[in-house]
């Protein structure tokens, strides 16, 4: 007697075979080798939880902590590596740059030293690179401009030196750029203004010089910029009226520079401006009345300048003082360290 076949019959017949294929799907040897090299170079805080030879998991063993894998054809590849706040000591693990399918690399809040290797440019699929709160040094390699998929770059709270590389302007998808609390010198590359999607630029607490006029000299620059942090540097000159062309600006932080001149009334025409930090510069004259009538402007810091009598701030100016540990895990606020306002955001 003939047996009538049905879809459910074939599903039951081939299910064990399909499960066997999934279970025994291998991790790409390139990634296995790279992660095991990284494992050999890290401290016990990470290694103790990295059990087995396969970082994506093998049989009954789960994937290594902080390692995310995805299927690519018949293989699994490592797409995310998050090893942060575990006191990793030593140089940046160069083997990371062999994980060519990485989309996220997060090594923040460790004790990494030395430079970012030039091989970082190999990670062409990387979208998020978070290296803040380490002890990294030297200049940022120009090869970082080869990370064409990058949207978030966090390099703050390190010891980087030299000039901010203009190659950062080669990252067409970059939206968030955090470079504060380093030792950068020279001028901010005006080429950054060509980044069409850049929303947040923070270069505060460095040793930068130059003027805002130089920064925004490219016509149509910074079309999407919302937050601009230039505080605690050595910027000079005045606030150019052309700054009002940055119509999406919400936060403008100019505190603790050497800027001078009057505040242009056109700045009050930026429609969504909510926070304006002018304090501890050499500004003079009066604040135009339009600022005090602005619909969205909630705070304006003016102390430490040479404004005429009668010029008043806007908002209540309370600065939260917290420990360094609490500061590290907060998401978005301003803190006063030895009378210097430091901006920080981990979004």
DSSP state of 217: -
Q: What is the CATH number of the domain that holds 240?
A: 3.80.10.10
CA 190 → CA 164, 222, 242, 248, 251, distances in Å?
11, 10, 14, 18, 19
Picking from 133, 42, 44, 176, the residue whose alpha carbon sits closest to that of residue 96 is 42
Residues 201, 85 share a domain: yes
Per-residue pLDDT of the chain (347 residues; tens, 9 = 90+): 443 444 444 444 444 434 333 445 699 999 999 999 999 888 666 777 898 889 999 878 899 999 999 999 999 999 999 999 988 899 999 999 999 999 999 999 999 999 999 999 999 999 999 999 999 999 999 999 999 999 999 999 999 999 999 999 999 999 999 999 999 999 999 999 999 999 999 999 999 999 999 999 999 999 999 999 999 999 999 999 999 999 999 999 999 999 999 999 999 999 999 999 999 999 999 999 999 999 999 999 999 999 999 999 999 765 443 434 444 444 334 433 333 433 334 33
Supply the range of the domain harboring residue 269.
214-315
Residues 197, 59 share a domain: yes
Residues 75, 127 share a domain: yes
Residues 42, 110 share a domain: yes
- Number of domains comprising the chain: 2
Residues 107, 38 share a domain: yes
Residues 297, 283 share a domain: yes
Any residues with CB less than 8 A from the CB of 168 and at least 6 apart, and which?
144, 145, 153, 174, 177, 189, 191, 192, 195
Cα 53 from Cα 332, distance rounded (Å): 39
């Amino acid at each position: 007697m003939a047996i009538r076949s049905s879809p459910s019959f074939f599903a039951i017949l081939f299910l064990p075979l399909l499960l066997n294929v999934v279970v025994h799907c291998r991790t790409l040897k390139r990634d296995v080798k790279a992660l095991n090299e990284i494992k050999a170079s890290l401290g016990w805080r990470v290694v103790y939880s990295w059990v087995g030879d396969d970082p994506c998991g093998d049989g009954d063993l789960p994937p290594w902590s902080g390692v995310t894998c995805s299927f690519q054809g018949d293989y699994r590849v490592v797409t995310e590596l998050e090893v942060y706040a575990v006191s990793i000591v030593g140089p940046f693990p160069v083997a990371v740059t062999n994980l060519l399918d990485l989309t996220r690399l997060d090594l923040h809040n460790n004790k990494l030293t030395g430079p970012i290797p030039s091989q970082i440019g190999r990670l062409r699929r990387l979208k998020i690179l978070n290296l803040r709160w380490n002890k990294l040094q030297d200049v940022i390699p120009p090869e970082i401009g080869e990370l064409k998929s990058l949207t978030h770059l966090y390099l703050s709270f390190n010891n980087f030196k030299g000039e901010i590389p203009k190659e950062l302007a080669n990252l067409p998808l970059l939206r968030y750029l955090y470079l504060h609390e380093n030792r950068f010198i020279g001028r901010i590359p005006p080429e950054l203004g060509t980044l069409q999607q850049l929303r947040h630029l923070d270069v505060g607490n460095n040793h930068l010089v130059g003027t805002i006029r130089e920064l925004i000299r490219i016509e149509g620059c910074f079309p999407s910029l919302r937050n601009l942090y230039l505080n605690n540097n050595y910027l000079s000159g005045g606030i150019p009226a052309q700054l009002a062309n940055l119509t999406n600006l919400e936060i403008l932080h100019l505190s603790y520079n050497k800027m001078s001149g009057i505040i242009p009334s056109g700045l009050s025409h930026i429609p969504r401006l909510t926070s304006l930090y002018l304090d501890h510069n050499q500004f003079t004259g009066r604040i135009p009345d339009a600022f005090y009538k602005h619909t969205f402007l909630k705070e304006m810091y003016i102390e430490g300048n040479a404004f005429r009598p009668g010029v008043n701030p806007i908002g209540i100016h309370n600065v939260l003082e917290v420990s360094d540990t609490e500061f590290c895990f907060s998401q978005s606020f301003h803190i006063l360290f030895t009378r210097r306002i430091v901006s920080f955001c981990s979004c």
